[in-house]
Structure 1
Amino acid sequence: MKKRIAALRDKLIELDLDGIIINNPKNRYYLSGFTGTAGTVLITEEEAVLITDFRYIDQANNQATDFKVVEHGNYKIETLKKELQRLEVEKLGFEACYESYQQYNQYQRKLDFLELIATENVVKKMRKVKDESELNTIQKAVKITDDAFSHIIEYIEPGMTEKEVSLELEYFMKQKGASAKAFDFIVASGKRGAMPHGVATDKEIAVGELVTFDLGCVYQRYNSDLTRNLIIGAAPTVKQQEVYETVLEAQLAAIDAIEPGKTGAEIDQVAREIITEAGYGDDFRHGLGHGVGLEVHEGPRLAQNKDKELKPGMVVTVEPGIYLSGWGGIRIEDIVVITEEGCDILTEASKELIRV
């Protein structure tokens, strides 16, 4: 945490700020390690302060060991005001993308002795590059998800509903140590596979249908994300095999092209060109990938309009897809970490078109 606080202090100097307040729960945890649901982090050049209420004082002292923990009473803003005055803060940054207009108005009224300055995703941008402890935690989340997919291959049978399969995935993950699912799982069978976000329904899975699975878990607050496909009780048709091989070729080529210094748009284009050349360009309509960490969708993005360069330590998904209305769809997704020379694939689940 000390390195993260020091990095944020460097940002304060760049932005000409005396301090910054953080209320976004993910950013608050990232800086302090505090997992409570209520609290404000205040970082200045001299101090790191965590303001919370009586419910969380012991927890805050145990978790936020690099912080001065301050208990507030009925009105947190009054305690914040005292701390800002004590630390002689004159220019205070706040998270423009998180604070409400109502909260901003309160700051203006109660903190009229200082200048409020909106900041844009200062901590979120820091979070794009993961440290070793974060990478280790993400790898464990990925392992749980890989194992869940291996389990479902043995579990699934024709006639089961998508919801039954989804519930089994969630149960398995929680048995293996996950605290929650990362999002509502996609279990999209048959024609429903044409919906990129086709969450599980009461539809029964039939023989000969393709099933797209998009699943992920939360492990120690970090997320995983995996997409794979199965075919139920029959050999794939020529078209099913063709579409699958096209998506797989695009995904492998994009992974092979990843390296520091390239942009998200450049990597996206590698996969998009292969799918377009196969005649399915209009059927791949989302970005190639996204960052994964404390949020299952965060920066950086691999997409057509993303011109930021990739850096070592960034963790992203690579997930091209083809979606054909009235027929179905295929998507293949891995999580990779950018390295000094390219990338390492964290996902280990088989990428064969598995028949079960």
Structure 2
Amino acid sequence: MRLERLMNEKGVDAILISNLLNVRYFTGFTGTTGTALAVKNKRFFVTDFRYVSQGKEEVEKNGFELICENISTFKKIGELLKEFEVKKIGIENQSVTLDQFKIFQNNFPEVEFIYLDDIFIKEREIKTEEEIQIIRESIKIAEKALKETMPKIKIGVKEREIAAELEYQMRKLGASKASFDIIVASNERSALPHGVASEKVVEEGFLTIDYGCFYKGYASDITRTFYVGDNPTEKHLEIYEIVREANEKAIKAIKDGITVHELDAIARDFIKEKGYGDYFGHGLGHGFGLQIHEYPGVSFKAENKVLKEGMVITIEPGIYLPNFGGVRIEDDILVKKNSYEVLTTLDKKLKLIKK
């Protein structure tokens, strides 16, 4: 089992899982209160009375014994540590607060704490077939929602109105929520890579929409840039085509074994050759899953990180020209052994949204 392997790798007798994303990943629990404990050949999930029925349904099929504790989760876990003679326990030091760590120390004074660092998020890099299928559905919902929203986009509409309509459509189609604050950036604001929807009204020019949703806990992440109006200038057409081609070139290079640095360079060098290298400052993409940003980061900053089969990543090059506008095109990609699968299906030809 995975947790047994991770315990052996870290040289611990037990692992305490308190971060709710990791709790969900290992136990299947989707509620808001619960802590998991793995000891040799035994798994426990501790929650309170509110989640007993839900917890039993979700965690027991994944091999966790549910314990209802309404007073002190840490006291109950302490009893289990004593029962199983735990000497060393792994904790999620990257997500545990200082106050939580003090509580752990006070409740488990005889136990040595071993930092797990990023072991869980690394474990989540490679998606299972079940996870990939849920991500596919999340993407389908997001794409359909954008198509439903498109008729509402026109000059004079506020960016926040577009974002609200898009989130409404995603929820209507089955999403639990948007996977992040939706970016709707029009005209010169499209030059802001994270131009979250504002009160600004849409004017003629570029309109960048970066959005996604959570479906059954898993994210999608898509960006498309449109031109609102009838007469894009040569510069609008030029930078759009450069970004689109950079996106395609990088995607075609994806396979198991390529480094993220190499992949980033394919798009970055192309944009640089076209004279816009100074206007593409962020990484080429990132992994996603239970979180909108997960490992691996697809960036010039990580030279030795290698893509592996089963990873799901974004490819999102961009060019951002201050006081003019910007373009970003983002697709979601499944890494395969010697190839890739583009999970997003929205057209990438420049669409003109007529006045």
Task: Answer yes or no: same fold by TM over 0.5.
Answer: yes
Q: Deviations over 1:110-152 (max 9, x none)?
A: 2122211111122211111000000000000101111122223
Q: Is the 8 A contact 1:267 1:302 kept in 2?
A: yes
What percentage of residue pairs aligned between the two structures are identical? 40
The aligned residue for residue 276 of structure 1 is 272
Question: SS in structure 2 opposite 1:64?
Answer: helix
Kindly report which structure 2 residues correspond to 1:1-356, keeping only aligned pairs within 5 A, or say none. Answer: 6-65=1-60, 66-206=63-203, 208-306=204-302, 307-356=304-353
Instruction: Assess if the C-alpha contact under 8 Å between 2:183 and 2:195 holds in 1.
Output: yes
Tell me how far apart the structure 2 counterparts of residues 184 and 353 of structure 1 sit (CA, whole Å). 24
Counterparts of 1:179 and 1:277, CA distance in 2? 42
Q: Is the 8 A contact 1:257 1:267 kept in 2?
A: yes
Distance 2:104 2:19 in 1: 16
Amino acid across the alignment from 2:134: T
CA deviations on 1:11-45 (whole Å, 9 max, x unpaired) are 21111111100011110000001112111100122
C-alpha distance in 2 between matches for 1:147 and 1:135: 18
- Offset at residue 153 of structure 1 (A): 2.6
Partner deviation per Cα, 1:289-332 (whole Å, 9 max, x = no partner): 01110001111110012121111000000000000111110000
| C-alpha deviation, 1:52, in angstroms | 1.0
Secondary structure class of the residue paired with 2:283: coil
Paired residues of 2:283 and 2:299 also in contact (CA < 8 A): yes
Q: Distance in 2 between matches of 1:262 and 1:9?
A: 30
Q: Which moved more, 1:232-241 or 1:24-33?
A: 232-241
Q: Which SS does the other structure have where 2:338 is aligned?
A: coil
Give the secondary-structure state (helix, strand or coil) at the position aligned to 1:300.
strand
Q: Which amino acid aligns with 1:23?
A: S
Q: Distance in 1 between matches of 2:140 and 2:279?
A: 31
* Higher mean displacement: 153-162 or 292-301: 153-162
Write the distance in 1 (CA, Å) between the matches of 2:114 and 2:64. 23
Structure 1 vs Structure 2 CA RMSD: 1.0
* Structure-1 separation of matches of 2:232 and 2:138: 31
Aligned 8 A contact 2:332 2:343 in 1 = yes
Q: Give the Å deviation of 1:181.
A: 0.6
Q: Which runs of 5+ in 1 are unaligned?
A: 1-5
In 1, the alpha carbon distance for the partners of 2:314 and 2:56 equals: 36
1:150–1:349: 8 Å Cα contact kept in structure 2? no
Quick one: distance in 2 between partners of 1:82 and 1:27?
Answer: 23
Query: 2-side partners of 1:75 and 1:45: how far apart?
Result: 23
Q: Secondary structure at the match of 2:281?
A: coil
Secondary structure class of the residue paired with 1:290: strand
* DSSP 3-state at the match of 1:58: helix
What's the TM-score, normalizing by structure 2?
A: 0.97
SS of match in other structure, 1:117: strand
Once the two structures are TM-superposed, the CA of residue 192 in structure 1 deviates from its matched residue by: 0.3
Equivalent residues of 2:4, 2:41 under 8 A apart: no
CA contact (8 A) 2:178 2:214 kept: yes
